[in-house]
């Protein structure tokens, strides 16, 4: 661990490490909510549609409960996302000052798309009671489109940082002659965007399905759980093979557009043909690799479909222009974990598809549901890994081959940044902890209520039987106090 | 010129955030002052229900302000976030605590927990606008120029403190006016008087702060002071004062619908007056609009994106506010989420 810190420290001013850790921590936390912000509305609308179309009360109940979850999740997502906008200025003023007008427009698109999403989600979440059922559904329908548009803006900005285009440099190194279209539609945008979009739908689908897989394993084998599992799991299972192809294609785009990053994720030291593929393993400063499984020729074959493919190595550029061996190892592990989990999810999707084709029914094995219960967490892990691969693999550049992370960092003292880091960690742990506790409590409350209703118990004490408006104080107090 | 057009967009976005976000912060301010759990139950109930559907939308304006800043005026963004590091960092932490506290309080039943979430929400509703206001005040004094390093002096001077307090008072005013209207909408007659009194009090506080501000800024923020006390700046400030007085009168006659418009109008006019007083500077007197402007191609595209966005976002925004004021937006109740037990019967094998 010490060597890791030393290496991070080696390439910049003292405030670089805390600035990096703060950005990594806040973005790494926010990214866990992103799949739900982008894809949960779509999955909920699918369930909603089913409920309206077939007059299915169970589907409508699920959609309503998912919106109640969405209400809390979206709020936490908004505030943790706003923090990131602040951090672009608080931590990386050098990048925004020089490049803001070159690549900032993507964020402009995102800001408006997000605005639209916030409006539509408010109408959707609060429209259940008084809007006409179909009106309510149609007003919610543009939500996934707004979410896709917002994701486009953010991914366009990140893709630009990886393959910056659309400007020339003047004598003092400042960007001139900005071409906005080129700056938005950079070479990495297409591969990154589709990989990201499908990835977040997968993650949201598997996580939501996982909740009902757990219920199923605990013996709650009713239509409510069947539906809650089948709809999101089917969406995710159908997209899993798609993601397999997209993931393969983005790796090859990185090979072509960012060869040094590719060398880091695959631990390629010297430029060569017939390059072996390493599964895991660790890169040392002298270029040797310890541990891991070596498969001869495979890296060349994967990169260019032939063992004769020449793969650029890390040593093709000076040590100061490439990831350190530790950073390369981190990117490599993140990449390999992502690919491993992706492959396992592929098997799970095939299992599901096979049973569906043969019997039009869910698999009977408990092992299937055990795996499905874990798939959500695993998928969130791949989201983190994909992000680590792309960000750590880009080091030491914040704007690939144009600006170093150390040139962009704020002048604020390292000690202030560490204090801020400490505060932010405490706040985020509390907020995310409280968020999970609230979700668990909601779900437990619903389950108990359902079981109570099934057993014929009276539900008279539930608030909300009275029409909307100020409730008599005594009732509210009774409910608030009596629920515990 | 294109950079002036973008500067107007930025000013409009700041004004929109001051009005929409300000109303929201103000609700939090009154939540903080609502008293103990028993005494504050009714006002907090109203605040919860009035804010819930619109608070996220209200706060998205801030993101738009930031985006226009760094895309349109990268140097401005870099300068402000470097020199004003601490207040902006604290404002960001405040935003997290505020949003999370509000969102988590709603589905929580246990009183102790509700207290903690409510306190996080309410305290940060006061702290966040104070720091944002202090940043604006600090910029007006001219203590910050491109290349200025972070220092406490930039945001802890007299003008900054007054600007911060004025911002908090203005949010309290907006919040109280809107909550008075909401109290009428939700047929809570007792709360109409409750919040009306608070709207009047905050106006009184604003008047005192404004007089103190005039004295403090006289030599501390000369350029902006002159801009606000002469010509068009003065006219706008006076119009804002008339709007504020009209709001007080309209509240007395419980014409709450009109009171909301005049209250919004007076806050927007003050923001506009401040923007005009700074002309042609973004940061008086070191960074003009044209010096800070990014590449003109980007600015033209930013305008295009803005126009498209106004077309796309405008109608839904109007729809949201109309549905909200018409009472069509209501949270799902426990009953909606529990009522049905159909489908929970075990499946026959």
pLDDT digit string, tens, across residues A209-245: 999 999 888 888 888 888 889 999 999 999 999 998 8
pLDDT, residue A484, reads 30
- CB contact, 8 Å: B299 with chain A? yes
CA A474 to chain CA centroid, nearest Å: 44
A441 pLDDT higher than 90: no
Asked whether the beta carbons of A116 and A142 are under 8 A apart, the reply is yes
Q: Find, among A279, A275, A285, the residue nearest to A255 by Cα.
A: A275
CB-based contact A424 B297, cutoff 8 Å = no
Per the structure block, which two tokens stand in for A11? 């390439």
Distance CA A429, CA A76 (A): 12
A466 pLDDT higher than 60: no
Specify the DSSP class assigned to residue A346. H
**Most confidently predicted of A30-39, A286-295, B182-191, B222-231:** A30-39
Residue range A113-155, pLDDT digits in tens:
888 888 888 889 888 888 888 988 998 899 999 999 989 989 9
CB-based contact A463 B334, cutoff 8 Å = yes
Q: How confident is the model at residue A478 (pLDDT cuts 50, 70, 90)?
A: very low
Q: Sort out which chain A residues have CB atoms less than 8 A from B85's CB and list them.
A: 90, 410, 412, 416
Residue range B284-314, pLDDT digits in tens:
888 888 888 888 888 888 888 888 888 988 8
Q: Sort out which chain B residues have CB atoms less than 8 A from A431's CB and list them.
A: 96-97, 100, 104
Mean pLDDT of B336-343: 63
Provide, rounded to the nearest whole percent, the portion of chain B with pLDDT above 90: 19
Distance CA B16, CA B13 (A): 5
pLDDT, residue A186, reads 87
More confident residue, A304 or B343: A304
Q: Sort out which chain B residues have CB atoms less than 8 A from A442's CB and list them.
A: 107
Distance CA B171, CA B22 (A): 5
User: Of A299-308, B65-74, B243-252, where does mean pLDDT reach its minimum?
Assistant: A299-308
B329 pLDDT higher than 60: yes
Element (H, E) at A277: strand A277-279
Please give, rounded to a whole number of angstroms, the shortest distance from the CA of B28 to a CA of chain A. Answer: 16
Mean pLDDT of B56-80: 87
pLDDT, residue A3, reads 47
Q: How confident is the model at residue B343 (pLDDT cuts 50, 70, 90)?
A: low
A465 pLDDT higher than 70: no
Closest-CA residue of chain A to B92: A83
pTM of the model: 0.85
Asked whether the beta carbons of B139 and A469 are under 8 A apart, the reply is no
Distance CA B172, CA B165 (A): 10
Distance CA B34, CA B47 (A): 10
Given 3-state DSSP classes, what are the helix, strand and coil percentages for chain A, each rounded to the nearest 5? 70, 5, 25
CB-based contact B329 A123, cutoff 8 Å = yes
Q: How confident is the model at residue B219 (pLDDT cuts 50, 70, 90)?
A: confident
B82 pLDDT higher than 80: yes
Asked whether the beta carbons of B33 and B123 are under 8 A apart, the reply is no
- Looking at the DSSP assignment, which residues form a beta bridge with residue A277? A295
B253 pLDDT higher than 50: yes
Please name the residues between 128 and 187 in chain B that touch chain A, using a CB distance below 8 Å.
149-150, 186-187
B85 pLDDT higher than 50: yes
Distance CA A129, CA A144 (A): 22
Distances (CA, A) of A234 to A109, A137, A189, A268, A349: 31, 21, 28, 38, 8
More confident residue, A447 or B91: B91
Q: Find, among B21, B25, B123, the residue nearest to B63 by Cα.
A: B21
**Tokens 């929580």, located at residue:** B108
pLDDT, residue B117, reads 86
CB-based contact B89 A221, cutoff 8 Å = no
Provide, rounded to the nearest whole percent, the portion of chain A with pLDDT above 70: 91
Provide φ and ψ at B274, rounded to 5°.
-60, -45
pLDDT, residue A381, reads 93
pLDDT, residue A477, reads 36
Residues contacting residue A269 through CB under 8 Å, at least 6 positions apart = A263, A283, A287, A289, A313, A314, A315
What sign has the CA pseudo-torsion B264, B268, B269, B274?
positive
Please name the residues between 80 and 139 in chain B that touch chain A, using a CB distance below 8 Å.
80-82, 85-86, 88-89, 91-93, 95-100, 102-104, 106-111, 117
Mean pLDDT of B38-52: 84
Residue in A91, A119, A471 to test binding to B, most B beta-carbons within 10 Å:
A119
**Number of helices followed by number of strands (H, E) in chain B:** 14, 2
A98-101 long-range contacts, CB within 8 A, separation 24+: A98/A174, A98/A175, A98/A403, A98/B74, A99/A164, A99/A175, A99/A399, A99/A403, A99/B74, A100/B70, A100/B71, A100/B74, A100/B77, A100/B78, A100/B294, A101/A175, A101/A178, A101/B71, A101/B72, A101/B74, A101/B294, A101/B295, A101/B298, A101/B299
A9 pLDDT higher than 50: no
pLDDT, residue A482, reads 33
Task: Tell me the angle at which helices A259-266 and A223-257 cross, rounded to the nearest 10 degrees.
Answer: 120
pLDDT, residue A472, reads 37
Per the structure block, which two tokens stand in for B111? 């009183």
A454 pLDDT higher than 80: no
Mean pLDDT of A5-14: 60
pLDDT, residue B345, reads 61
pLDDT, residue A458, reads 47
A45-54 long-range contacts, CB within 8 A, separation 24+: A45/A137, A45/A140, A45/A141, A45/A143, A45/A144, A46/A231, A46/A235, A47/A227, A47/A231, A48/A137, A48/A140, A49/A137, A50/A231, A52/A133, A52/A134, A52/A137
Specify the DSSP class assigned to residue A166. S
Q: What is the overall mean pLDDT for chain A?
A: 84
Closest-CA residue of chain A to B105: A438
Distance CA A369, CA A390 (A): 32
- Looking at the DSSP assignment, which residues form a beta bridge with residue A175? A169
pLDDT, residue B188, reads 83
pLDDT, residue B349, reads 43
B285 cis-preceded (ω within 30 degrees of 0): yes
Asked whether the beta carbons of B217 and B229 are under 8 A apart, the reply is no
CB-based contact A96 B81, cutoff 8 Å = yes
Q: How confident is the model at residue A483 (pLDDT cuts 50, 70, 90)?
A: very low
pLDDT, residue B156, reads 83
User: Of A104-118, A138-152, B15-29, B263-277, where does mean pLDDT reach its minimum?
Assistant: A104-118
Q: Which of A60, A82, A119 sits opposite B320 (nearest CB)?
A: A119
């Amino acid at each position: 661990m010490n060597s890791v810190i030393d290496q991070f420290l080696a390439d910049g001013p003292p405030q670089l490490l805390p600035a990096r850790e703060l950005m990594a921590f806040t973005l790494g936390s926010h990214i866990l909510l992103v799949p739900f912000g982008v894809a949960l509305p779509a999955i909920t609308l699918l369930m909603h549609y089913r409920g309206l179309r077939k007059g299915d009360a169970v589907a409508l109940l699920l959609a309503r409960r998912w919106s109640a979850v969405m209400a809390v999740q979206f709020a936490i997502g908004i505030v943790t996302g706003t923090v990131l906008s602040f951090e672009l200025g608080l931590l990386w003023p050098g990048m925004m000052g020089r490049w803001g007008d070159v690549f900032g427009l993507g964020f402009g698109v995102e800001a408006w798309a997000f605005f639209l999403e916030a409006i539509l989600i408010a109408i959707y979440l609060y429209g259940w009671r008084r809007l006409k059922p179909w009106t309510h559904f149609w007003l919610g329908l543009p939500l996934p489109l707004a979410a896709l548009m917002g994701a486009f803006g953010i991914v366009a900005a990140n893709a630009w940082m990886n393959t910056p285009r659309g400007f020339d440099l003047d004598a003092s190194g400042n960007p001139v002659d900005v071409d906005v279209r080129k700056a938005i539609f950079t070479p990495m945008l297409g591969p990154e965007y589709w990989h990201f979009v499908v990835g977040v739908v997968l993650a949201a689908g598997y996580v939501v399905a996982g909740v009902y897989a757990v219920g199923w394993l605990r013996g709650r084998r009713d239509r409510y759980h069947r539906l809650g599992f089948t709809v999101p799991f089917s969406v995710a299972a159908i997209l899993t093979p798609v993601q397999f192809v997209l993931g393969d294609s983005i790796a090859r785009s990185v090979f072509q557009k960012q060869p040094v990053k590719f060398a880091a994720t695959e631990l390629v030291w010297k430029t060569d043909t017939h390059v072996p593929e390493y599964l895991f393993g660790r890169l040392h400063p002298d270029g040797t690799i310890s541990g891991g499984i070596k498969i001869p020729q495979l890296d060349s074959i994967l990169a260019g479909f032939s063992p004769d493919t020449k793969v650029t190595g890390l040593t093709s550029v000076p040590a100061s222009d490439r990831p350190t061996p530790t950073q390369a190892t981190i990117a490599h592990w993140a990449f390999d974990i992502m690919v491993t989990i992706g492959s396992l999810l592929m098997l799970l999707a095939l299992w599901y598809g096979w049973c569906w084709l043969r019997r039009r029914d869910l698999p009977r094995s408990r092992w299937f549901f055990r795996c499905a219960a874990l798939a959500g967490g695993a998928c969130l892990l791949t989201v983190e890994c994909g992000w680590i691969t792309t960000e750590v693999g880009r080091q030491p550049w914040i704007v690939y081959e144009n600006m170093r992370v150390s040139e962009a960092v704020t002048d604020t003292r390292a000690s202030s940044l560490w204090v801020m880091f400490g505060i932010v960690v405490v706040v985020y742990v509390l907020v995310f902890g409280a968020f999970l506790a609230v979700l668990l409590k909601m779900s437990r409350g619903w389950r108990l209520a359902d079981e109570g209703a099934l057993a014929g118990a009276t539900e008279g004490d539930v608030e909300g039987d009275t029409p909307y408006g100020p409730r008599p104080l005594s009732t509210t107090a009774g409910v608030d106090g009596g629920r515990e | 010129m294109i950079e002036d057009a973008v500067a107007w967009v930025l000013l409009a976005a700041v004004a929109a955030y001051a009005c929409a976000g300000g109303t929201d912060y103000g609700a939090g301010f009154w939540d903080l002052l609502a008293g103990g759990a028993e005494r504050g139950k009714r006002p907090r109930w109203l605040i919860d229900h009035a804010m819930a559907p619109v608070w996220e939308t209200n706060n998205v304006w801030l993101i738009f302000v930031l985006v226009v800043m760094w895309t349109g005026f990268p140097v401005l963004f870099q300068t402000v976030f470097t020199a004003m590091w601490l207040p902006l960092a604290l404002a960001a932490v405040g935003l997290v605590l505020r949003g999370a506290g509000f969102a988590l309080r709603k589905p929580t039943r246990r009183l102790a927990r509700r207290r903690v979430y409510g306190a996080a929400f309410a305290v940060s509703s006061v702290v966040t606008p104070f720091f944002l206001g202090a940043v604006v005040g600090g910029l007006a004094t001219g203590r910050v120029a491109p290349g200025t390093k972070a220092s406490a002096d930039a945001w802890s001077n007299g003008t900054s403190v007054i600007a911060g307090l004025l911002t908090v008072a203005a949010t309290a005013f907006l919040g109280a006016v809107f909550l008075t209207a909401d109290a009428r909408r939700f047929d809570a007659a007792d709360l109409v008087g409750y919040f009306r009194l608070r709207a009047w009090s905050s106006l009184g506080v604003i008047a005192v702060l404004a007089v103190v501000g005039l004295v403090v800024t006289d030599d501390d923020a000369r350029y902006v002071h002159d801009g606000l006390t002469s010509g068009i700046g003065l006219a706008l400030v006076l119009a804002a004062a008339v709007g504020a007085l009209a709001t007080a009168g309209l509240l007395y006659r419980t014409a709450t619908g009109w009171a909301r418009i005049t209250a919004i109008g007076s806050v927007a006019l003050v923001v506009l007056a401040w923007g005009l007083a700074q002309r042609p500077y973004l940061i008086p007197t070191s960074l003009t609009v044209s010096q800070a402007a990014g590449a003109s191609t980007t600015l033209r595209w930013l305008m295009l994106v803005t126009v498209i966005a106004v077309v796309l976002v405008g109608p839904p925004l109007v729809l949201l506010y109309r549905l909200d004021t018409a009472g069509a937006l209501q949270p799902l109740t426990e009953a909606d989420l529990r009522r049905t037990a159909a489908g929970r019967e075990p499946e026959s094998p």
